[in-house]
Structure 1
């Protein structure tokens, strides 16, 4: 009888302790191909994002937050806290024959789902995966108890085929899912996430939701009512809007006052030189892009309402960021064999171009898939009113490798040295939780930040940033980011000792991380979709 009573008491205490788990819920929102000033809190006042503005006003923004310049490598680092090569996705989600370039997450690099599930969290994913195509690499096999979305890098936002040959191949908990006709994928991603949260509400433990939207990635498609909201907004073109965004970014405090805008890309036509019909065509394309962002913001509004309904709004951390800068590319870049409709509608297949993308990345330089600030700089917002300072902008200088240790800090989750008998890679980043609740302005780290992608390289160490491009035969460029975040003035010739130091640091990092010369693994053809 005593043993029975003791057991009952022990189990009761366990249940009480479990029910009183006060650790915060966590929502990690990742959008795709969003430029630095493509939302209101970062200077894009032409795009209506009231819910993101709310998160920013009640949370903290970073002026400098870095990604890996392109989809799959960014997601690899975001999900594991590793540099992309260390996680197995140094190039893209294609296998190039070496461990650092195998094209899917290795088992030594634990995902947020695996670590947080092991720490007692319910783990949920809704949206884009893109870090492993085969069955054993899917979300459900990498720690996510509930999952919905698509496995690859890009997909239509509307289903235009039948169930036997879907144009939007989706999975829900490893089972095929058919997107109903006329249903917009952003809505389905949101509603599936909300449905999962309602299911999880009965589990009496905190949740982690990875909400990975594919918007505003191509193809440019949005509900017509959202497109029409922006009719006439872009009639003055990309040249004037790019300058407006620059001034608005300074006014918002997300770009340093006194610094100049990046030099204009010479490949872009002057808006005033276009014909009337060309201007109408390009306006429509930017209206669609804005509509896609607008719809994501509406979705976040639904999510915030759900948190309030479930009485979890006061104990949930929300982090919002983009996987890279806005998409570059010259002229129209239309997939003519796929494009059967007007841009924005089901059946269209248009892509964002340099012209509007330079505006999206304004005042920063360059585009997605480049290590300049416009390629690797992302808008970044953290919201957690219980702890995070409200309406604060910090320099930050964070990187996606810092997300995992920060979330584990919030979750009181131990990152294991071994997992299923496999020795794990140690985390590369640092937690910035303390920065969010104090007067600290910048992440304190002992090591520089590094980038390598398709031969393009960069190092950020203090105020200095070293850049060298494969296409430019690795000619060295050096920028003082504290004075010239637009990267207009290459000062490599003036500071050869700094160049040498950063090159040495890069060489050591490359050796430790498995980076090899790009010519050794360079694909024979373009493998990117």
Structure 2
């Protein structure tokens, strides 16, 4: 009897093992939006209608702390390689400043998610914004993607032509061949159209897929579909002061903003809404209506992706991660370039307006500062991960993840080997940590054992435990904040804790030396550079 029982048990275990061996690795979808603030989703406190992303949040996990690199190209370099941007060759932007860490395109030592996952049996698909170098050797198809549709530089119009004015031609690339956006098309929709086409074609292959969906919305120019704009008509007549308070209240209700946390002081350079004239209010309201409409359309398109997954019967074995590349963009049109080119009303083809500082201050609620700055408003992103039956629904954690953690997470879940050498080039070792323990409930934040570091155009920061050290170029003075109670960075405690400042600054300079960071004063361009997506410096405290 015991022998029979043992035999049966052995058979059952063998069957279970065989079944486990046949369990396919997950499909991976990475969604990134552009220039979206921390509070711009319903699940993070916004009034903007984002039901699809809110559903993913309700059925998945949200992080209170997830960090990017404060601006487009360096963020994308870290996201796709798991490296700090300097190690990947993009410490400044997609322009060459003459040093390997600032060459302006991805180096060969930093392997992309597409290269590694493709070598491990995945189909690799991308649709949207690349911004990883203008040279064709840095284009997505040359860096591991089987399929690519999108644009190479840092910004694009959303319409080729419209009822008012004429935009610049929208030059796109599909698998290394250039094409143009057709009249009547809207780029956010077309990016998704191509992603869905790739998923349909990929379904004929017997292997998992990795899809990188890189929307350019809500990055300037403010251009949206009339039916989306109409949904927000009059919604923003309350102004930015009241709206920011509404978002703070919602964040408290949602648990995004915890009890005892201080919010950022009101930006002193943002005018009081009630002091504006009627005409000024009408102009400003129109900007935010279009901005909201652009995000609304992104959410609608993510719903299309979910429907496609369900149609292909792949929704149960797909991980979706959603993030933003940096905080909302500050600065004023009086100091910026694009709005002077307007040839049509805000929202139409020919509109080159952007959200600007007063509304960006709302988007980055409850934080301080903006894109291209290392205070929390510049480097904080929402983080949503959805993986049915694997991630516990409705989870909200501290998290403290970073872009460099995405690659090790995906490789762990895909059971992918990260090669020490790739095409006879020694690979940079990964520096991030897998988010899997946090995603699956074994931890509430990443245990990385070392600080997180930032440097971009002379702006610097270190995050270790509850402490954050930060400085804003051209100043080299360190500020210190206790993020445990003051994530709004309202009270600089550097003078109170000099030992902490010394410890973190030493660690920063050690990191800078081994990562290739150079004093920005020594390499900064002689003349201001016309870089798409980089506003004039915001005229706020700390700049």
Residues 339, 351 of structure 2: 8 Å contact kept? no
2:32 corresponds, among 30, 33, 50, to 30
2:101 match: 100
Any residues of structure 2 matched to 1:117-516 within 5 Å, and which?
Answer: 117-160=118-161, 167-330=169-332, 333=336, 335-471=338-474, 473-516=475-518
Displaced runs of 4+ in structure 1, greater than 3 A? 331-334
Once residues 513 and 92 of structure 1 are traced to their aligned partners in structure 2, the CA distance between those partners, rounded to angstroms, is 16
Range 240-249 or range 122-131, more displaced: 240-249
1:114 match: 115
Any residues of structure 2 matched to 1:67-106 within 5 Å, and which?
Answer: 67-106=68-107
Residues 141, 147 of structure 2: 8 Å contact kept? yes
Once residues 484 and 391 of structure 2 are traced to their aligned partners in structure 1, the CA distance between those partners, rounded to angstroms, is 25
Once residues 49 and 510 of structure 1 are traced to their aligned partners in structure 2, the CA distance between those partners, rounded to angstroms, is 39
Aligned-pair CA distance for 1:179:
1.0
2:12 match: none
**1:339-364 deviations in Å (ceiling 9; x for gaps):** 10000001111022110000000001
Once residues 417 and 306 of structure 2 are traced to their aligned partners in structure 1, the CA distance between those partners, rounded to angstroms, is 29
Once residues 67 and 38 of structure 1 are traced to their aligned partners in structure 2, the CA distance between those partners, rounded to angstroms, is 16
Q: TM-score, normalised by structure 2?
A: 0.92
Matched residue SS, 2:203: helix
Once residues 479 and 380 of structure 1 are traced to their aligned partners in structure 2, the CA distance between those partners, rounded to angstroms, is 22
2:9 match: none
Aligned-pair CA distance for 1:515:
0.2
**1:472-526 deviations in Å (ceiling 9; x for gaps):** x211100000110000000000000000000000010000000010011101223
Matched residue SS, 2:204: helix
Residues 262, 485 of structure 2: 8 Å contact kept? no
Residues 166, 178 of structure 1: 8 Å contact kept? no
Matched residue SS, 1:246: helix
Aligned residues: CA RMSD: 1.5
Q: TM-score, normalised by structure 1?
A: 0.94
Matched residue SS, 1:203: coil
In structure 1, the gaps of 5 or more residues are 1-15
2:5 match: none
Matched residue SS, 2:338: coil
Residues 261, 484 of structure 2: 8 Å contact kept? no
Once residues 342 and 166 of structure 1 are traced to their aligned partners in structure 2, the CA distance between those partners, rounded to angstroms, is 16
**1:22-77 deviations in Å (ceiling 9; x for gaps):** 11000000000000000100000x10000001000000000000000000000000
How many residues in Structure 1 have an aligned counterpart in Structure 2? 508
**1:171-226 deviations in Å (ceiling 9; x for gaps):** 00000122110210000000100000000000010000000000000001100110
In structure 2, the gaps of 5 or more residues are 1-17, 533-543
Once residues 463 and 159 of structure 1 are traced to their aligned partners in structure 2, the CA distance between those partners, rounded to angstroms, is 47
Matched residue SS, 1:157: coil
1:52 match: 53
Once residues 493 and 111 of structure 2 are traced to their aligned partners in structure 1, the CA distance between those partners, rounded to angstroms, is 40
Once residues 318 and 353 of structure 2 are traced to their aligned partners in structure 1, the CA distance between those partners, rounded to angstroms, is 37
Once residues 498 and 157 of structure 2 are traced to their aligned partners in structure 1, the CA distance between those partners, rounded to angstroms, is 48
Aligned-pair CA distance for 1:136:
1.1
Residues 81, 113 of structure 2: 8 Å contact kept? yes
Residues 117, 416 of structure 2: 8 Å contact kept? yes
Matched residue SS, 2:265: coil
Aligned-pair CA distance for 1:337:
4.5
Matched residue SS, 1:85: coil
Once residues 155 and 269 of structure 1 are traced to their aligned partners in structure 2, the CA distance between those partners, rounded to angstroms, is 30
Once residues 171 and 20 of structure 1 are traced to their aligned partners in structure 2, the CA distance between those partners, rounded to angstroms, is 37
